[in-house]
Amino acid sequence: MTTTALVLVSVFVGAGMQRFTGMGFALVAAPFLVLLLGPVEGVILVNLCGAVTAGAIIFRVFRDVNWRTYGILTAAAVVGIVPASFAVRIMPPAVLEIGIGLLLAAGLTVLLAMRSAHLAPRRRFLWAAGAMSGFMNASAGVGGPAVSIYSLATRWPHRSFAATMQPYFFTIGSLSLVAKAATTPAQFPDIPWHMWVAISVACLVGLGVGELFAKRVSPKAAQIVLIVLAYLGAAATVTRGVFDAIA
């Protein structure tokens, strides 16, 4: 299978998971797009496609969005995006990726080991989740797991969580692109126009398939998939870091 086909499959599956779980695009697509296109170009494409995919879903879930929570998460994410945009210029990508992946895996493990524990949905925890999500989105292209840990710990209903994540990912993806355009404009991926069209089609088809799953799968099953994807995202981030370190 050619690189072009692999990129399109990654985008298709990622878009479908984004509609199904509310945050699957970066977790599914980022590891493959980074390996196919490079650590900087791949993350930029993830930010772009993630923002477009989330933007297309917003109108389908508009009524279920918790706009107050969205506002706090977005403001906190900006706090994380700004330093991350500079960090990727001065720190080896491997160091950032391995550290972020290990932190995610540790957080999820602690959370699942204490399933009976309940974290009150306080603002300081929301700010912490948003800041970490923004930093990880800008540096590694994976901003969902930090917010998913918060949602699981606070028992955030999945329907509201999945809906609120769409304007959130649209915003932080767009902000990450703006920040990178200002700091590393020469590293944007050089992709021909027909490839952009193919990527757009893959996004739309993936969203359609994800819509079918979203109507037929229970919230509990979606939450299980969410946990699995978060672990996969953490593992993939560490793996990318190891490969970058030994390359």
Looking at residue 130, its pLDDT comes to 92
Residue type present at position 232: L
Q: Contact at 8 Å (CB) between 47 and 170?
A: no
pLDDT digits (tens, 9 = 90+) for 94-108: 787 787 778 777 777
Looking at residue 67, its pLDDT comes to 95
Residue with tokens 């998913």: 148
Predicted confidence pLDDT, tens digits, the chain (247 residues): 577 888 888 888 888 877 777 666 777 777 777 777 776 777 778 888 888 888 888 888 899 999 999 999 999 999 988 888 777 777 777 787 787 778 777 777 776 775 666 667 788 889 999 998 888 877 777 777 788 888 888 888 888 988 898 899 899 888 888 877 776 665 666 677 788 888 888 888 888 888 887 777 776 777 677 677 778 777 877 887 888 788 6
Residue with tokens 């524990």: 117
pLDDT digits (tens, 9 = 90+) for 49-103: 888 888 888 888 899 999 999 999 999 999 988 888 777 777 777 787 787 778 7
Looking at residue 74, its pLDDT comes to 94
pLDDT digits (tens, 9 = 90+) for 3-16: 788 888 888 888 88
- Per the prediction, the chain carries an average pLDDT of 80
